[in-house]
Amino acid sequence: MTSSYDPCRANYPHSTSSRARSAVEAPANDTGSDKVVDPALVRFDIGHSEYEALIEADTAFWALARKDRSEELLRDPAFLTKVAESGSLFSAEMKHLRFGLVPSAVYFNPTERCNLDCTYCYIPGQMRRHGSHMSRERLVEALETLLEFFHEKMPKQDKPQLIFHGSEPMLNRANLFEVIDEFRDDYIFGIQTNGTLLDAEALEFITSRGISLGLSLDGPTPEITDRTRHTFSGHGIHERVVEALEKLRGYKNYSVIATVTTENLDHLNGIVELFHSLEVPTCMLNQVRCTLVGGDRVRPDDQLFFSAYQSALERTYELYQESGRKLVVANFANVILGVVAPTARRLMCDISPCGGGRCFFAVSAEGDLFPCSEFIGLKTFSGGNLFSGGLGSCFETEAFRSVTGRMIEEISECGSCPIRHFCGAPCPAEAHERNGGLNMRGAFCDFYKEQVRYVMRLIADGRENDFLWDGWDQEMPTVFELTMD
Ligand code: SF4
Ligand code: SF4
């Protein structure tokens, strides 16, 4: 009996895990084996004319097999031996990714206020309208306390990331800029902003210091953007954000989030065209989070969302072919990485437990500690207060443990889902608020399945690198970078 398989389609030699999942061809000869199909390998239809996936869900091992040969392959001792051999390595890798990481980043809200009233915001309106700013003294105290904590947790050579987040951090700009300069040697700073307050002076400050910047824009035209993103008095903001993006042309350390809702679903191609024309290096097409009722109201249907999303991704591919310049859609690229090299993933929503409360956490403008910004506004998920000595103990509180202990295996339907480690059933906040509990699925299950099928099709056709950052496999190790809406 002879058997061979040809690891010909994909090779990721620089992956930290050497997680070289390959498109495999079953042997042309009869294997002659009666071996029982490995029960852990599940056949997964990826909607490709020639290939289907064989997935071992627990270890996140996968292979692409020719459909007409997969039965034979599943009886091929050489293949099954390979799966078994890689199992312990992949298992250890998933275990580390899911349970072995330490906190290395914080989302920090320096103010409760925002100048906008976006339809889907997860921060209560009263807080955004009338809330308080954190004083400079409080900011300094907070950053010192956080630094001490990170020094205890992280390897000495690594700097923690601190992302000023919203509400709208630029409303507390003077204090923010002062502490950024004061702590410039201690943190890698980022600012997530709605982009409406970025005047020339602010942009000069940010770009001259290489600060990572995230902006938001939901449409290709004012008419579309302003449906979901506008001031409290209903005024549009599209032009102001585009103006800031014009000025950022050439800066490499920024990204733009478009939140996908029913209001812009039909305009995703136009959005990526606008971003590409503005030379935006990285964007996200994030599904709206349905944690609060405002988001749920504009939640798109899964299938319609996937269809528009795939079309926009293919449009970025065309633009790349035409111009030689990529517009990476980071949330999609992250799912590709989750499949081909899980430890290279840069965002931590698509894994269970998610990154909230274990890789990073959030601090409100009052100093309250939450597993993730998505929980700000849900008081029961507060794990204490930074200014009352709560930082050391918040990770042990029920509020945090309930999120960090959320196991995909214990979620009905997800427990038997072959792609559970490429999806993670995000988001726990959404699951809790809209679906009845942390141990429920989040939103967009069908969307996730389609997205993973699409990733696998791209791999089968050898196209996945066209959607990834150039040199992504040389920048290892990466656990995650932070950009959220
Ligand atoms: S949410 Fe859906 S796609 Fe994701 S792991 Fe659960 S069943 Fe699978
Ligand atoms: S899944 Fe939700 S709670 Fe977890 S990191 Fe993502 S946004 Fe935060």
* pLDDT value of residue 79: 87
Q: Ligand 2 in contact with 350 (CB < 6 A)?
A: no
How does pLDDT run across 435-446, given as a tens digit for each residue?
999 999 999 999
Cis upstream peptide for 359 (omega within 30°): no
* pLDDT value of residue 475: 55
Give Cα 395 to chain centroid, integer Å: 22
- Whether residue 376 lies inside any domain: the answer is no
Which of 98, 117, 151 is the last residue in one of the domains?
Answer: 98
Query: By the 8 A CB rule, do 381 and 370 touch?
Result: yes
How would you list the strands of the sheet with 23-24, edge to edge? 23-24, 61-66, 51-56, 41-44
Task: Please state the pTM of the whole predicted model.
Answer: 0.90
Q: Ligand 1 atom 6: the closest Cα is on which residue?
A: 414
The enclosing domain of 181 has a CATH number of 3.20.20.70
Distance CA 427, CA 59 (A): 22
Residue 464's domain comprises: 101-355+457-474
Are residue 176 and residue 289 in the same domain, yes or no?
A: yes
- Whether residue 396 lies inside any domain: the answer is no
Query: By the 8 A CB rule, do 202 and 170 touch?
Result: yes
- Whether residue 366 lies inside any domain: the answer is no
Residue 96 corresponds to which tokens in the numbers above?
Answer: 């580390």
Residue 409 corresponds to which tokens in the numbers above?
Answer: 């295996």
Are residue 48 and residue 126 in the same domain, yes or no?
A: no
Question: How many folded domains does the chain comprise?
Answer: 2
Are residue 243 and residue 308 in the same domain, yes or no?
A: yes
Q: How far is the centre of ligand 1, averaged over its atoms, from the C-alpha of 446 (Å)?
A: 8
How does pLDDT run across 130-140, given as a tens digit for each residue?
888 899 999 99
Q: Ligand 1 in contact with 469 (CB < 6 A)?
A: no
The closest ligand to the CA of 295 turns out to be 2
Distance CA 428, CA 383 (A): 16
Q: Ligand 1 atom 5: the closest Cα is on which residue?
A: 420
- Whether residue 403 lies inside any domain: the answer is no
Q: Ligand 2 in contact with 348 (CB < 6 A)?
A: yes
Are residue 38 and residue 183 in the same domain, yes or no?
A: no
* Best probe residue, ligand 1, of 407, 412, 446, 449 (max atoms within 8 Å of C-beta): 449
Are residue 298 and residue 326 in the same domain, yes or no?
A: yes
Which of 69, 98, 127 is the last residue in one of the domains?
Answer: 98
Q: How far is the centre of ligand 1, averaged over its atoms, from the C-alpha of 81 (Å)?
A: 28
- Whether residue 417 lies inside any domain: the answer is no
Q: Ligand 1 in contact with 421 (CB < 6 A)?
A: no
Distance CA 201, CA 204 (A): 5
Q: Ligand 2 in contact with 440 (CB < 6 A)?
A: no
Residue 328 forms beta bridges with which residues? Answer: 282
Which atom of ligand 2 lies nearest, measured to the CA of 355? 5
Are residue 74 and residue 148 in the same domain, yes or no?
A: no
* Best probe residue, ligand 2, of 374, 381, 404 (max atoms within 8 Å of C-beta): 374
Distance CA 431, CA 442 (A): 4
Cis upstream peptide for 155 (omega within 30°): no
* pLDDT value of residue 89: 87
Are residue 180 and residue 131 in the same domain, yes or no?
A: yes
Q: Ligand 2 in contact with 426 (CB < 6 A)?
A: yes
Are residue 178 and residue 150 in the same domain, yes or no?
A: yes
How does pLDDT run across 202-247, given as a tens digit for each residue?
999 999 999 999 999 999 999 999 999 999 889 999 999 999 999 9
Are residue 348 and residue 296 in the same domain, yes or no?
A: yes
Q: What is the DSSP letter of 109?
A: -
How does pLDDT run across 394-421, given as a tens digit for each residue?
999 999 999 999 999 999 899 999 999 9
Distance CA 350, CA 451 (A): 12
Q: Ligand 2 in contact with 377 (CB < 6 A)?
A: no
Which atom of ligand 1 lies nearest, measured to the CA of 449? 3
Is the pLDDT at 258 greater than 70? The verdict is yes
How does pLDDT run across 362-379, given as a tens digit for each residue?
999 999 999 999 998 899
- Whether residue 8 lies inside any domain: the answer is no
The closest ligand to the CA of 482 turns out to be 2
Are residue 224 and residue 324 in the same domain, yes or no?
A: yes
Are residue 304 and residue 233 in the same domain, yes or no?
A: yes
Q: How far is the centre of ligand 1, averaged over its atoms, from the C-alpha of 82 (Å)?
A: 27
- Whether residue 208 lies inside any domain: the answer is yes
Cβ neighbours of 114 (radius 10 Å): 24
Q: How far is the centre of ligand 2, averaged over its atoms, from the C-alpha of 352 (Å)?
A: 10
* pLDDT value of residue 35: 40
How does pLDDT run across 80-121, given as a tens digit for each residue?
888 888 888 889 999 999 999 999 999 999 999 999 999 888
The closest ligand to the CA of 442 turns out to be 1
How does pLDDT run across 179-196, given as a tens digit for each residue?
999 999 999 999 999 999
How does pLDDT run across 265-300, given as a tens digit for each residue?
999 999 999 999 999 999 999 999 988 888 999 999
Query: By the 8 A CB rule, do 419 and 55 touch?
Result: yes
Q: Ligand 2 in contact with 442 (CB < 6 A)?
A: no
- Whether residue 443 lies inside any domain: the answer is no
How does pLDDT run across 6-39, given as a tens digit for each residue?
322 222 333 333 333 444 544 433 333 344 445 4
Which range scores top for mean pLDDT: 12-16, 292-296, 467-471, 473-477?
467-471
How does pLDDT run across 296-341, given as a tens digit for each residue?
999 999 999 999 999 999 999 999 999 999 999 999 999 999 999 8
Q: How far is the centre of ligand 1, averaged over its atoms, from the C-alpha of 448 (Å)?
A: 7
* Best probe residue, ligand 1, of 445, 451, 454 (max atoms within 8 Å of C-beta): 445
Query: By the 8 A CB rule, do 425 and 411 touch?
Result: yes
Which of 98, 132, 164 is the last residue in one of the domains?
Answer: 98
Are residue 227 and residue 107 in the same domain, yes or no?
A: yes
